[in-house]
Amino acid sequence: MNSKKKRALKYIVAAIAAKRQMKKVRRNWIKPWLTRRADLGVCQTLLKELSNEDSDSFRNFLRVSPQQFAYLLDMVEDSITKCSTNMRTCITAEERLSLTLRYLATGESYRSLSYSFRIAPSTVCSIIPEVCDALYQALKDTYMKKNGKKLQQIFMRNGIIRIVWGAIDGKHVGVQAPSNSGSYYYNYKHTHSIVLMALVNAKYRFTYVDVGSNGRVSDGGVFRQCTLQESIENELINFRGPKELPGRDKKVPFVVVGDEAFPLKEYLMKPYPQSCGLDDSQRILNYRLSRARRIVENAFGILCNKFRVLRAPILSSPDKVEKIVLCCCALRYYLRPEIQTANDAENGQDIGTWLLKIPRGGKTNSG
């Protein structure tokens, strides 16, 4: 080894030794501006002003009224409250709920929410799925009721098709492609997604949802895998039997209507294919089925307009996206009491339907 190399090696060894001897600068346990959350956070400033002075703006900000927010907080407070420690004060249940509702309403990034709510982005990432799951668990038993008979009555009153029990379709919810997933979540729209399969009644309420199937599976494939088909065929659902239509003696079974992607079954009606020539009666039937099917498309539009997190790819893992989507469906059910008509109120009828989340194949998917 020549002298130049020896000299360079000595310099390197001396630099390493000096670096080890330097006193390590202690990092902050929490950034100073985050510690002022209790005084300057959104919950302590803006939300209190809106609640006291402008309830409409409060509803626009969180998609719920101050009274609805208080009710939701009372339902989930015990399950989302954490304990304070000697090191720092915990984030309150009110802050956790308002953060989650704001995320669902806007789809803002975690970084953007962290600046407004003064909560670290890593904490925001863990809070939102937890609160979404707590909201769904709290709402599903209270507001989701099994009542197949009234579903058919609603469709009859609307005059769409008198034998329709509900309209079914699938919606692709965009997600960030997980690592090493390849084309597993890649769909025909050239995006990565999971599928929200929903059965909707005539009042735009979700009566059945299945969330979690990978986007490359067609609607017919999702229907074969979900629990709805098995429940109907095994008569686990209160599916009314055949009934005479007004002015006719022949009994006609009640059905679910879907598009061309679904299989034709005794309980599932689909339109005639457009590839072959259709006569007038077939075109009329397709038109009436289209009128019935538009209900589910409108329901998806209402859901996305209310919770705009669904209008763009959700930058979370698929299991977290499932919780977010289920929470949106349950909240939309809770926030639509206005769909009960005056006639139903006079007759003492509750148009509440039901929502199921059933594991499929041992994996916790929604169904």
What DSSP character marks residue 153? H
- Report the pLDDT averaged over residues 55-67: 94
Which amino acid, residue 259?
A: D
Q: What is the pTM of this model?
A: 0.79
Does the pLDDT value for residue 46 go beyond 90? Answer: yes
Does the pLDDT value for residue 145 go beyond 70? Answer: no
* DSSP secondary structure of 182-217: TTTTB-TTSSBEEEEEEEE-TTS-EEEEEEEEETTS
Residue pointed to by tokens 């020896």:
6
Give the whole-angstrom CA distance, residue 303 versus residue 311: 10
pLDDT recorded at residue 231: 83
Residue percentage of the chain with pLDDT more than 90 = 43
- Report the pLDDT averaged over residues 25-36: 77
pLDDT recorded at residue 96: 96
CA distances from 130 to 2, 123, 310, 320 (A): 63, 11, 18, 9
How many CB atoms neighbour CB 162 within 10 A?
Answer: 15
Confidence band (pLDDT; 50, 70, 90) for 21? low
What DSSP character marks residue 298? H
From the list 143, 10, 124, 18, the residue with the least C-alpha distance to 75 is 143
What DSSP character marks residue 25? P
Strands 243-244 and 268-269: unpaired
- Report the pLDDT averaged over residues 212-237: 87
Q: Say which range, 160-174, 216-230, 272-286, has the weakest mean pLDDT.
A: 160-174
CA distances from 210 to 36, 98, 198, 349 (A): 42, 26, 6, 27
- Report the pLDDT averaged over residues 340-347: 34
CA distances from 364 to 67, 114, 301, 318, 357 (A): 33, 30, 26, 12, 9
